[in-house]
Copies of this chain bind each other. A is one copy, B any other.
Amino acid sequence: MLKGTLEGCVLEIIGAEETYGYAITRRLNDLGFTDVVEGTVYTILLRLEKNGLVQVTKRPSEVGPPRKFYALNEAGREELATFWAKWEYITSRIAKLKEGGS
C-alpha cells in the first residue's frame, strides 16, 4: 500500500537539488530516518536510473572516489508529483480512520 515511500523521499531530495548517494543518505539520517543505510539508498538510486526517472552525471570528488550526481528528468518530476498525491491521499484516509471516521 505504501511501498515506495522511501523512494519518494529520495525523489524529493533529488528534486530539490542535484546530489549524490552518500549525501542523500546523510540527509535522510539528519531528517530523522536514522536507520537508513547506504545500501538501501543505492538500490533505490539504481532503480530510479533503471526506470528512467533521473539523469546521472559522474564527477570527480576532492575528498574521495568520484560521485554520481542525480537530477530529476521530466518523468521523475511526474513520478514525484504522483507520489505526493498518493501520500496525501493515504495519510488523509489513515487520519480519518484514526479519528474513528467512516
Whether B1 pairs with A98 at a CB distance below 8 angstroms is no
Whether B98 pairs with A12 at a CB distance below 8 angstroms is yes
A100 at interface, CB cutoff 8 A: yes
Copies in the complex: 2
- Set B33, B84, B91: member contacting A91, Cβ < 8 A: B91
Q: How far is the CB of A89 from chain B (nearest CB, A)?
A: 7
Whether B94 pairs with A9 at a CB distance below 8 angstroms is yes
Please count how many residues in chain A sit with their CB below 8 Å of the partner chain's CB atoms: 26
Whether B98 pairs with A33 at a CB distance below 8 angstroms is no
Whether A9 pairs with B97 at a CB distance below 8 angstroms is yes
Chain B positions within 8 Å of A93 at CB level: 31-33
Chain B positions within 8 Å of A33 at CB level: 1, 93
Give A30-59 interface residues, CB cut-off 8 Å to B. 30-33, 36
Query: Which residue from chain B places its CB closest to the CB of A96 in the assembled complex?
Result: B31
